[in-house]
Amino acid sequence: MVENNQLKNKMKIKIVKNGPYIVSGGVPLYEETIITDEAGHTKDLVDEKEFPPQNTYTLCRCGESKDKPYCDGTHTQKNFDGTETASRKPYIKKAEIFEGPELRLTDAHEFCDHSRFCLRSGGIRNLIGKSDDPEARQTAIEEAMICPSGRLVLWDKNTGKPFEKEFKPSIVLVHDEQKKCQGPIWVRGEIPLESADGTLYEARNRVTLCRCGKSENKPYCDGSHWMTAEQKLKFRKKWGLDDNKETDENPES
């Protein structure tokens, strides 16, 4: 933990107005691919690549760079609108609470990047409802801990502590093989994220940032890299997100 704190003191992601993410402090950069189980549900991520270490680098945010994942200045030619629209409320104030026998789920729907890790074995809410069963409990814990966006946090009702992996500060470029597209930028280990206006977002163990340029919840990913406008609208309606300012043939979440 001390080592992580020392690393984080040097690391930062700075959002440039209508431009890229400037990553400083020697943040390790990886690429990982989402894998699925026999039923076709996303289950985990596997390592694909580690990029050469750099003290400072810029990551494309508009989705149009010819030198991905790095920025090549194309955002200026495309007149990219990177306006940050995400709420600045702390996670816990956004989150809905769902109770089970032994587990408590906090769920901040607007953070969802639609990586779909919470759908295995009937879905995480079904599993939490049966969390006095050891197998259901373990699967629910796995689903929550692998949720890249940090939308889902699972808590032990006996200890009051969350189930979290202790990630070393790092960035992962997610590839969604099932959807045949590049996914979000997964930021791990509470790396500070600074807005274009100089203020800091809440530092969290898991967040996902948009890199396709289409998110309606910038700087965070909202699944726009694969979802249609209709799918996103259905998600917003399902969770009442339009009431606060996203399918369900299968809501993918």
What is the tens place of the pLDDT at every residue in 91-129? 999 999 999 999 999 999 999 999 999 999 999 999 999
Cβ burial 70-93 (10 Å sphere, 16+ → b, else e): ebeebbeeeebebebebeeeeeee
CB 68 within 8 A of CB 185: no
Chain segment 194-243, per-residue pLDDT in tens: 999 999 999 999 999 999 999 999 999 999 999 988 888 888 787 676 65
Going by the DSSP 8-state scheme, the letter that residue 175 receives in this structure is: E
Chain segment 141-174, per-residue pLDDT in tens: 999 999 999 999 999 999 999 999 999 999 999 9
For position 243, what pLDDT does the model report?
Answer: 57
Mean pLDDT, residues 77-100: 96
CA distance 113 to 217: 10
CB 8 within 8 A of CB 169: yes
More confident residue, 253 or 100: 100
CA distance 139 to 137: 6
Global confidence as pTM:
0.90
CB 105 within 8 A of CB 152: yes
CA distance 209 to 215: 9
Cβ burial 40-68 (10 Å sphere, 16+ → b, else e): ebbbebeeeeeeeeeeebbbbbbbbbeee
For position 4, what pLDDT does the model report?
Answer: 54
CA dihedral 27, 50, 189, 177 (to 10 degrees): 130
CA distance 127 to 253: 14
How is residue 194 written in tokens? 């600074």
pLDDT at 249 over 60: no
